[in-house]
């Protein structure tokens, strides 16, 4: 059902490798890409061998020597063309994202739109890579700082956003003068091949080296090559906290840099002053969107006892109306989990909730029968729990929503929200100005993202995206996140006829 889309994206073969003329090195073992939508194999993909990786690194290094000298506004023009191409291919690429990953078609289109948005942001940034002028303590001296390209950037992305997160990193890195080697999730290789093909066509059109954008496909070992390579000064990695800890240790051991976007355990606080209609919309979308497989998915609702029963009843009613099935059909709200391993984790979590004392009020479970043959469809579940339960403290990448009651003021709710190891996204639903301001203050949310009267999901490109604690501390996308992809240099110019030394030191010759 996806053959026409693959053809439109320049992916012409069912067995994809270097022999097909695609823009990556691939002479290793084969893997298959299967859709969680219907369980069908989409294509067989040839992975990159270690020798392929070495060749890619040589190609990237040569390309960097050229690309870093291209003026930043001209680099921005390449990204502008890439964004324009994405606009024309949005329906096609969006459908591939939906089919290969399993998110709704609307979400697949939205992910491609995020790519377009970051391209727009990066084009503007290409004329705004500002440094600062600094007043020197020495007469007739001028000081300033400036930013230079960093080098070859390694990007490791996850299956849940198979194209957008790469684009967040790549659009900024390329505008900054870096080149990129991308290791996508082995669960969504076709989305990566499509993106590589689109950008490679733009580079060819501008007569630029293809090594500016590079792709390596494979499993864990391929990522390890990137992480341990001393020639790659920056690794941007998205995935689980366990994976991020390993990446951080290895990159730090060689004094490299890392941008880590890891697990979330995101909560919405619901106070007595909340608009409960808005609350239901935000909570349901946050909990079941992408079948709960977003790092910003809503995992916990921390609800004041005075509105607890009302919120619970509203959620149960809303969950009864959810349509589960083929995500390419617009009437369905919830698609499949990525694979049957994810289903097993989901089922284990449901079992643990009851073992640890929780109560399932929307029971969930595996869906079988017509339309669910892939074995990847599950029912979104809701459970009443305590925040200290081990299962609640973990991130389960599935549509399970925990309800937690609080009795006191908003500071009690904030303490409950912060009492997890992760610190990505957070939100409060309230029309009370004092509660809102407390939530955003230094004694409020300890997360990288804190929202008022919107949910935990749906970050905008213009803001820096990332979190604290076991979420990794990295920042991608907007604001000044671009600085992570560059090296900072402080410059001092002496335009006098003397050489005064700092701190009043004299040294006469």
Known catalytic residues are 261
Query: 301 and 280 in contact (C-beta within 8 Å)?
Result: no
- State the CB neighbour count (10 A cutoff) for residue 165: 27
Query: 403 and 383 in contact (C-beta within 8 Å)?
Result: yes
- The span from the CA of 394 to the CA of 349, in Å, is 10
Q: What are phi and psi of 134, to 5 degrees?
A: -125, 135
Task: Give the residue from 172, 198, 169 showing the smallest Cα distance to 182.
Answer: 169
Query: 327 and 335 in contact (C-beta within 8 Å)?
Result: yes
- The span from the CA of 459 to the CA of 451, in Å, is 10
- The span from the CA of 186 to the CA of 48, in Å, is 11
- The span from the CA of 494 to the CA of 33, in Å, is 60
* CB neighbour list of residue 69: distance below 8 Å, 6 or more residues apart: none
- The span from the CA of 321 to the CA of 334, in Å, is 11
- The span from the CA of 402 to the CA of 276, in Å, is 17
What's 160's DSSP letter? S
For residue 80, what are the β-bridge partners?
none
DSSP string across 245-280: HHHHHHHHHTT-EEEEE----EEEEE-TTS-HHHHH
CA 197 to chain CA centroid, nearest Å? 21
For residue 36, what are the β-bridge partners?
none
- The span from the CA of 489 to the CA of 473, in Å, is 23
- The span from the CA of 413 to the CA of 417, in Å, is 6
């Amino acid at each position: 059902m996806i053959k026409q889309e693959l053809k439109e994206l320049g992916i012409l073969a069912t067995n994809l490798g270097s022999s097909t003329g695609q823009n990556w090195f691939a002479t290793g073992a084969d893997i298959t890409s299967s859709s969680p939508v219907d369980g069908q194999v989409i294509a067989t993909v040839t992975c990159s061998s270690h020798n392929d990786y070495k060749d890619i690194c040589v190609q990237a290094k040569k390309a960097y020597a050229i690309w870093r000298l291209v003026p930043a506004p001209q680099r921005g023009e390449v990204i502008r063309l890439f964004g324009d191409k994405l606009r024309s291919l949005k329906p096609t690429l969006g459908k591939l994202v939906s089919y290969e990953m399993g998110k709704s078609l609307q979400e697949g289109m939205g992910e491609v739109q995020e790519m377009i948005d970051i391209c727009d942001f990066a084009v503007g940034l290409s004329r705004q890579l500002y440094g600062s002028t600094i007043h020197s303590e020495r007469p007739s001296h001028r000081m300033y700082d400036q930013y230079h390209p960093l080098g070859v950037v390694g990007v490791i992305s996850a299956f849940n956003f198979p194209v957008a997160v790469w684009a967040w990193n790549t659009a900024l890195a390329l505008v900054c003068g870096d080149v990129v080697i991308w290791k996508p999730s082995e669960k969504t290789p076709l989305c990566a091949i499509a993106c590589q093909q689109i950008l490679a066509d733009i580079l060819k059109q501008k007569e630029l080296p293809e090594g500016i954008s590079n792709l390596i496909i494979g499993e864990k070992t391929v990522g390890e090559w990137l992480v341990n390579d001393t020639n790659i000064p920056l690794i941007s990695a998205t995935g689980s906290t366990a994976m991020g800890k390993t990446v951080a240790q290895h990159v730090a051991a060689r004094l490299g840099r890392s941008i880590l976007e890891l697990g979330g355990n995101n909560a919405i606080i619901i106070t007595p002053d909340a608009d409960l209609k808005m609350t239901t919309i935000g909570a349901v979308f946050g909990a079941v969107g992408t079948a709960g497989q977003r790092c910003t998915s809503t995992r916990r609702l921390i609800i004041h006892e005075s509105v607890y029963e009302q919120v619970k009843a509203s959620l149960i009613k809303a969950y009864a109306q959810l349509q589960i099935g083929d995500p390419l059909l617009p009437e369905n709200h919830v698609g499949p989990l990525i694979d049957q391993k994810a289903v097993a984790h989901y089922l284990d979590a449901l079992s643990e909730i009851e073992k640890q004392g929780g109560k399932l009020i929307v029971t969930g479970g595996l869906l079988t029968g017509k339309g669910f043959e892939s074995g990847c469809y599950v029912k979104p579940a809701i459970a009443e729990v305590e925040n200290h339960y081990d299962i609640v403290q973990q991130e389960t990448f599935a549509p399970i929503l925990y309800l937690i009651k609080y009795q006191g003021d908003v500071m009690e709710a904030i303490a409950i929200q912060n009492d997890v190891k992760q610190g990505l996204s957070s939100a409060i639903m309230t029309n009370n100005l004092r509660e809102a301001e407390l939530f955003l203050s230094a004694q409020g949310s300890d997360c990288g993202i804190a929202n008022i009267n919107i949910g935990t999901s749906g970050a905008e490109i213009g803001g820096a995206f990332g979190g604290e604690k076991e979420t990794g501390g990295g920042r991608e996308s907007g604001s000044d996140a671009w600085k992570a992809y560059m090296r900072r240099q402080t410059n001092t110019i002496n335009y006098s006829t003397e050489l005064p030394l700092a701190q009043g030191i004299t040294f006469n010759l």
